[in-house]
Amino acid sequence: MARAVTRRFESTAGDVSTVLSGIDIDIAAGDYLALTGPSGSGKTTLLSCLSGLDQPSSGSVRIGEDDLATLDDRALAHLRRTTLGFVFQHTDLLDELTVLDNILLPAVRRRGRVSAETLEHTAQLMDRLGIGDLGARAAHEISGGQRQRVGICRALVNRPPILIADEPTGALHREATEDVLDLFDDLNASGTTIIVVTHDPMVSGRARSRRHLIDGRMVDPPVPSLLTTPMTSSNRGE
């Protein structure tokens, strides 16, 4: 999916910082990958490159058969609308719209209307994440954790085959995090590819594979500490 991806930013003073260096990552259909790493290591930048929101300075990103660099803006927007659901780290809702209208916006953009089936699907998603009674509220009236769950429902409203989620549970308490993780498990079991960035071991522990970024480079995930990992006959070397 990503080959030798680098991303450099140039400041107004002309300084160049390299935020991603030679990232190779293969994500097969149906994978469930957790991406971890310290703050500033490049996780959000990588997700932006993987989803076509940003363009690498060099290297290539493919989604299915499409090399993103070969697509014009229209084709890229179409691919993103039909293939990707994106949960942003800082949920960007339209504050003057209701919660329900925010969630339905990708469906309206894609099809120009909202079907009864989409409404039903949306109600189920909202119920599962504990925000079923918030549909009529203005988006500026809800809490940070509620906004985050609205952002997750919005990313899923079009049933995207690929879900990319940047810290989707950062503002959630444990119970709501579990609701989100149960939903992700069900989506993945029915074929949705999931890429999730997280600082929370409870979230990364539920994924099927893990990659770790440090200073813009992929490294092996940290080895679990022997102090916190219960000894078993296998890790004792027996």
Ligand X SMILES: Nc1ncnc2c1ncn2[C@@H]1O[C@H](COP(=O)(O)OP(=O)(O)OP(=O)(O)O)[C@@H](O)[C@H]1O
| CB closer to Mg ion, 99 vs 163 | 163
Interaction partner, residue 42 (ligand X, Mg ion, none; CB < 5-8 Å by kind):
ligand X
Helical (H) or strand (E) element with 19: strand 16-25
Q: Would you count residue 45 as binding ligand X (CB under 6 A)? A: yes
Q: Which does 52 bind (CB under 5 to 8 A by kind): Mg ion, ligand X, none?
A: none
Q: 62-92 b/e with 16+ CB inside 10 Å = b?
A: ebeeeebeebeeeebeebbeebbbbbbbebe
**Closest approach of ligand X to the CB of residue 36, in Å:** 9
CB of 19 to ligand X, least distance (A): 4
Q: Residue 234: which of Mg ion, ligand X, none does it interact with, CB under 5 to 8 A by kind?
A: none
Q: How far is the CB of 46 from ligand X (least distance, A)?
A: 7
Instruction: From 6, 36, 35, select the one nearest 21 (Cα to Cα).
Output: 6
State residue 230 phi and psi, 5-degree precision: -60, 140
If binding is defined by CB under 5 A, does position 44 make contact with Mg ion? yes
43 binds ligand X (CB under 6 A): yes
- Residue 4 Cβ, how far from Mg ion at the closest point, in Å? 22
- Chain residues that interact with ligand X, rule: CB under 6 A: 9, 19, 37, 39-45, 89
